[in-house]
């Protein structure tokens, strides 16, 4: 009870300090000789209040204070302490408080760490960031207060959705948010830089680090979510083109694009308008995502409880932000007309523009695929579904030139370059096509498409491997990231081609056999834990080469809320994952068993880690 009260008032104090901060910032902006020390102190104070409020909520969860409505709705006394804590952000109110925490954290670090930029710029960035922060304070207090008081106080809470009770998902939201919400600072500083007409190469260097930070966290956040979906949702996929997944992919695509074109701005001082547009787009997409997820107009596995009032608030807020951005962009931004932009075909900047062109296409596919069904429903009330086949058809053909350009682009130099060692580039292309053909001809399906696709991925793979040797530590971060991407595409493709699966109904003692393996359901035992009872089925899997694996998938019957979940058993090895999951069939003695062998699963995760490694190395490069 006391924690909730403290949390609530801390939230109000945070809002007040935000307002005072904005007031002083405006004052300071008018006569800005030196930065008012009050600004940094107030920003710290605001962060402090939000941290207090956040811990207020965490502690309410820890002590299971059911007079707090959020705790009542999402917790239970029998839950392990770890999930009581992580339950704090496993719901709408708590996760919005996390939003606010990241927003205030980033502006504070921004003020602290930005030393070589003008005072006016720092202040203006703070003001824009405060507009967002205050908007979210009001949103939280008005529509989604995490500290609502319940009376009479319930004896017991409703519990956390069991599929959210998972270590990967426990840290997924904070990591994802650091990227997702972190992009707000890019938005604010882009607006500030535009207003002050200081979008230049040195500004690009300064904002690049912030872009990298957001990008790294967003990449890792998406990875964690994907790993979670793989083993917890229970059917062995890792990306479903689900609207909520798309919503996290869109800012990622925009950030990746920004990361590339910011280099052009840094080196050549061109593409100023484009960098600004991208900076604004990234955060706008994050906001759009929040709107889509929280308004409940999406049909998704991930949807929280939601209500229309919240959706409306975010929508209005989103439009205000877009309006401010457009106004600033068109009113203040003057494109440098004097030196019209001349580029050589063969140059790094041309290659990056090519990258941007394709990335924007991928972004528009995901955006249109996610949003179009909603529009159609509103306009003609006809419901359509846009699923994986749509995305595959529109993205895969474009991936082929994209991968090849990704291999050749980094071979170029800035301004003007000749393609050196053309012979080896062509030779590697030939080798890639040959290898792919030889591999793909073993499968009966889609020979041509798969050969071309796999060759282009192999091409990127070979060229990046070669670059590790020829370029050594020069551009190592870029090379690792591109290498990681080639590995990602290759792993996904081979995973798709080589996966095999079996669905069978088995009673105890029965077995299923095909040419590759034999599955025997040996016995079933029961286990009892604090917050769930489980049925564990013990399987013996004999592969055709005689290897025996024991696997024990589980059915968990959670007590609060009363939900049955299937816990897959996964044996991960370097080359392949064995994945087994059981389901109960009502009124039947048998289990529905799903067994899959999925090659290169581990490599999918490793390659995304490599991608983010590239980002991390790039972040620390200057400091080494």
Report cis status (omega within 30 of 0) of the bond before 382: no
Q: Given candidates 285, 365, 551, 601, which one binds another protein under the rule CB under 8 A?
A: 365
Q: Given candidates 237, 400, 542, 563, which one binds another protein under the rule CB under 8 A?
A: 237
Q: Is the dihedral of CA 293, 328, 14, 100 positive or negative?
A: positive
Q: Are 74 and 159 in contact (CB under 8 A)?
A: yes
* Interaction mask 589-608, another protein, x per CB under 8 A: ---x----------------
Q: For helices 272-295 and 183-195, what crossing angle results, to 10°?
A: 140
**What is the largest distance, in Å, between two alpha-carbon atoms of the chain?**
83
* Closest among 300, 199, 168 to 244, alpha carbons compared: 300
Residue 240 touches another protein, criterion: CB under 8 A: yes
Site for another protein in 552-591 (CB under 8 A): 566, 583, 585-586
- Looking at beta carbons only, is 379 or 624 nearer to another protein? 379
d(CA 334, CA 337): 8
Token reading at 362: 């991928």
* Closest among 377, 581, 572, 575 to 491, alpha carbons compared: 575
d(CA 131, CA 324): 11
- Looking at beta carbons only, is 16 or 439 nearer to another protein? 439
Residue 205 touches another protein, criterion: CB under 8 A: no
Q: Are 575 and 553 in contact (CB under 8 A)?
A: no
Taking the complex as a whole, how short is the minimal distance between the CB of residue 240 and another protein, in angstroms? 7
3 state SS of 116: coil
d(CA 268, CA 266): 6
Taking the complex as a whole, how short is the minimal distance between the CB of residue 163 and another protein, in angstroms? 12
d(CA 273, CA 194): 9
- Looking at beta carbons only, is 127 or 204 nearer to another protein? 204
- Looking at beta carbons only, is 124 or 440 nearer to another protein? 440
Q: Is the dihedral of CA 465, 466, 467, 468 positive or negative?
A: positive
Q: Given candidates 242, 266, 467, 569, which one binds another protein under the rule CB under 8 A?
A: 242
d(CA 608, CA 224): 10
Count, residues near another protein per rule CB under 8 A: 61
d(CA 511, CA 205): 62
Q: What is the DSSP string of 490-528?
A: HHHHHHHHH-EEEEEEE-TT-EEE-SSEEEEEEEEEEEE
Taking the complex as a whole, how short is the minimal distance between the CB of residue 373 and another protein, in angstroms? 8
Taking the complex as a whole, how short is the minimal distance between the CB of residue 418 and another protein, in angstroms? 11
Taking the complex as a whole, how short is the minimal distance between the CB of residue 399 and another protein, in angstroms? 13
Q: Given candidates 213, 233, 263, 568, which one binds another protein under the rule CB under 8 A?
A: 233
- Looking at beta carbons only, is 312 or 438 nearer to another protein? 438
**Window of 49-57, 121-129, 278-286, 501-509 that interacts with another protein by CB under 8 A:** 501-509
Residue 503 touches another protein, criterion: CB under 8 A: yes
d(CA 263, CA 284): 22
Taking the complex as a whole, how short is the minimal distance between the CB of residue 450 and another protein, in angstroms? 13
- Looking at beta carbons only, is 142 or 393 nearer to another protein? 393
Q: Given candidates 31, 115, 116, 380, which one binds another protein under the rule CB under 8 A?
A: 380
Q: Are 77 and 531 in contact (CB under 8 A)?
A: no
* Closest among 309, 302, 257 to 279, alpha carbons compared: 257
- Looking at beta carbons only, is 125 or 355 nearer to another protein? 355
Tokens 């529905």 correspond to: 592
3 state SS of 360: helix
Q: Are 135 and 317 in contact (CB under 8 A)?
A: yes
* Interaction mask 381-410, another protein, x per CB under 8 A: -xxxxxxxxx--xx---x------------
Give the CA radius of gyration of the chain: 26
**Window of 109-117, 210-218, 358-366, 544-552 that interacts with another protein by CB under 8 A:** 358-366
Q: What is the enclosing helix (H) or strand (E) of 51? A: helix 37-62
* Interaction mask 427-466, another protein, x per CB under 8 A: ----x--xx--xx-xxxx----------------------
**Window of 137-145, 238-246, 468-476, 599-607 that interacts with another protein by CB under 8 A:** 238-246
- Looking at beta carbons only, is 78 or 269 nearer to another protein? 269
Residue 414 touches another protein, criterion: CB under 8 A: no
Q: What is the enclosing helix (H) or strand (E) of 579? A: strand 576-584
Q: Given candidates 37, 116, 337, 342, which one binds another protein under the rule CB under 8 A?
A: 342
Residue 243 touches another protein, criterion: CB under 8 A: yes
Taking the complex as a whole, how short is the minimal distance between the CB of residue 300 and another protein, in angstroms? 4
Token reading at 234: 């229970």
Q: Given candidates 87, 135, 162, 369, which one binds another protein under the rule CB under 8 A?
A: 369
Q: Given candidates 500, 544, 562, 573, which one binds another protein under the rule CB under 8 A?
A: 500
Distance of CA 22 to the CA centre of its chain: 31
- Looking at beta carbons only, is 283 or 402 nearer to another protein? 402
Site for another protein in 288-317 (CB under 8 A): 298-303
- Looking at beta carbons only, is 29 or 235 nearer to another protein? 235
Give the full edge-to-edge strand order of the sheet including 569-572. 500-506, 591-599, 576-584, 569-572
Residues 6+ apart with CB under 8 A from 122: 35, 110, 111, 114
Interface residues with another protein (CB under 8 A) are 233, 235, 237, 240, 242-243, 298-303, 340-345, 350, 353, 357, 360-361, 364-365, 368-369, 372, 376, 380, 382-390, 393-394, 398, 431, 434-435, 438-439, 441-444, 498, 500-503, 566, 583, 585-586, 592
């Amino acid at each position: 009870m006391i924690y909730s009260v403290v949390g609530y008032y801390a939230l109000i104090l945070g809002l007040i300090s935000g307002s005072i901060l904005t007031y002083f910032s405006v004052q300071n902006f008018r006569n800005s000789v030196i930065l008012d020390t009050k600004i940094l102190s107030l920003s710290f104070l605001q962060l402090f209040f939000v941290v207090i409020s956040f811990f207020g909520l965490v502690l309410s969860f820890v002590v299971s204070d059911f007079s707090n409505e959020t705790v009542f709705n999402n917790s239970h006394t029998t839950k392990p302490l770890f999930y009581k804590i992580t339950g704090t952000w496993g719901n709408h109110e708590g996760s919005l408080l996390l939003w606010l925490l990241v927003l205030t954290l980033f502006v504070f670090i921004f003020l602290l760490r930005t030393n070589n930029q003008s005072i006016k710029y720092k202040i203006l960035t703070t003001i824009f960031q405060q507009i967002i922060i205050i908007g979210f304070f009001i949103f939280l207090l008005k529509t989604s207060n995490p500290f609502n008081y319940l009376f009479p106080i319930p004896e017991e809470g409703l519990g956390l959705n069991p599929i959210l009770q998972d270590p990967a998902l426990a840290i997924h939201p904070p990591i994802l948010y650091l990227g997702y919400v972190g992009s707000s600072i890019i938005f604010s500083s882009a607006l500030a830089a535009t207003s002050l007409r200081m979008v230049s190469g040195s500004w690009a260097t300064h904002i690049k680090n912030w872009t990298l930070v957001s990008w790294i966290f967003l990449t890792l956040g998406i990875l964690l979510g994907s790993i979670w979906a793989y083993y917890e949702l229970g059917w062995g996929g890792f990306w479903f083109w689900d609207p909520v997944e798309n919503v996290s992919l869109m800012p990622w695509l925009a950030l990746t694009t920004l990361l590339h074109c910011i280099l052009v701005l840094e080196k050549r001082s061109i593409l100023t308008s484009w960098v600004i547009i991208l900076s604004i787009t990234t955060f706008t997409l994050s906001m759009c995502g929040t709107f889509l997820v929280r308004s409940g107009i999406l049909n998704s596995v991930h949807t929280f409880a939601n209500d229309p009032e919240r959706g409306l608030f975010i929508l209005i807020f989103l439009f205000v932000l877009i309006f401010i951005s457009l106004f600033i962009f068109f009113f203040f931004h003057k494109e440098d007309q004097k030196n019209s932009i001349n580029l050589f075909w063969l140059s790094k900047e041309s290659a990056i523009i090519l990258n941007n062109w394709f990335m924007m296409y991928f972004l528009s596919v995901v955006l249109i695929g996610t949003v179009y069904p909603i529009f159609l429903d509103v306009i003609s009330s006809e419901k359509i579904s846009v699923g994986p086949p749509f995305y595959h058809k529109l993205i895969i053909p474009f991936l082929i030139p994209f991968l090849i350009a990704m291999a050749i682009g980094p071979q170029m130099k800035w301004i003007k370059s000749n393609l050196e060692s053309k012979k080896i580039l062509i030779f590697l292309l030939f080798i890639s096509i040959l290898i792919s053909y030889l591999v793909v001809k073993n499968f009966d399906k889609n020979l041509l498409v798969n050969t071309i696709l796999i060759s282009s991925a192999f091409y990127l793979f070979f060229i990046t491997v070669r670059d590790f040797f020829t370029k050594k530590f020069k551009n190592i971060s870029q090379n690792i990231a591109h290498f990681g991407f080639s590995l990602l595409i290759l792993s996904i493709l081979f995973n798709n081609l080589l996966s095999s699966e079996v669905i069978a109904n088995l009673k105890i003692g029965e077995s299923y056999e095909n040419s590759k393996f034999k599955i025997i359901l040996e016995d079933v035992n029961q286990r009892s834990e604090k917050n769930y009872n489980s049925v564990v089925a013990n399987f013996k899997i004999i592969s055709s080469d005689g290897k025996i694996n024991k696997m024990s998938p589980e059915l968990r019957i959670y007590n609060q809320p009363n939900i049955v979940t299937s816990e897959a058993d996964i044996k991960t090895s370097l080359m392949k994952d064995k994945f087994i999951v059981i389901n109960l069939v009502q009124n039947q003695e048998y289990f529905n068993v799903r067994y899959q062998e999925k090659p290169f699963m581990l490599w999918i995760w490793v390659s995304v880690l490599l991608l983010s490694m590239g980002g991390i190395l790039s972040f620390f490069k200057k400091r080494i």
